[in-house]
Amino acid sequence: MVKRATALLLMVALGLLFATIAFDHRPDTELNRTALYYAENTAKDIGAQNIVTAIVVTYRGLDTLGEVTVLFLTAAIVGLILAAGRPGERGSFPPSGELLHTGSRLLAPLILLAGVYVFVNGHLTPGGGFQGGAILASAALLLLLTDPLHRFGNRLIRLVESLSGVAYVVAGLFGLVLAGGFLDNRFLPLGEFGALFSAGGIPVIYTLIGLKVGAEFASMLSSLSRTEKH
């Protein structure tokens, strides 16, 4: 009873807190100084059409490197915990059914294509490496649902993941040597604003992030499905 009352009290307090914030909120009529800087200088300095991408990959590139590292650690820990003491046991599952089987064979390549589109066009349209990588992983998820014991090249996934991680840091170092600083995108020519091959190193870096995130999620899902009861 006391527990319930406390929970209710906390929720009411939280609601009051949010209500005061919501009722006091007045939308800004103009951008603040940081936002104004990004809005005015992104096209000139970075050459990316999507300002969010310019901020994520270049202005705040180091934070993104940190996020990718956190995700890598998570994937490594999940793999370590789940894969321990399960040396490749293979059981059999009931067949997944014609609909799922045929559907996933049709859909998986299309989903992969959509994911690649999202991260290759990260500097032009909404989305980018993380979103594209998650879409790639959902294709892997579909394949795993069809056949939980399917192994789509664990070694390949691991190779893609580590190579793209190393290449990301190397691209950052290129920026340090050839351009203004670590993870500066101007080590490649900026190109024509709005074209696919523009914005310097951003398409390269976002492709690497997309591959890395996709491989990490796929390896996590695959080690999860390996623990399935037989």
201 burial (CB, 10 Å; 0-12 / 13-18 / 19+) is buried
| 112 in Cβ contact with 139 (< 8 Å) | yes
Instruction: Supply the minimum distance, in Å, between the C-beta of residue 221 and other proteins.
Output: 8
Task: Between 113 and 173, name the residue whose CB sits nearer to other proteins.
Answer: 113
Does residue 138 touch other proteins according to CB under 8 A?
A: yes
Which of 217-227 are b and which e, b meaning 16 or more Cβ less than 10 Å from the residue's Cβ?
A: bbbbbbbebbe
CA distance 136 to 139: 5
Per-residue interface string for the shown chain with other proteins, residues 178-217, x marking contact by CB under 8 A: ---------------------------------------x
**What number of chain residues touch other proteins (CB under 8 A)?**
22
Does residue 131 touch other proteins according to CB under 8 A?
A: yes
Place of tokens 């024509």: 192
Does residue 157 touch other proteins according to CB under 8 A?
A: no
CA distance 70 to 133: 15
Does residue 83 touch other proteins according to CB under 8 A?
A: no
List of residues contacting other proteins (CB under 8 A): 27, 50, 52-53, 118, 126-128, 130-131, 134-135, 137-138, 141, 217, 221, 224-225, 227-229
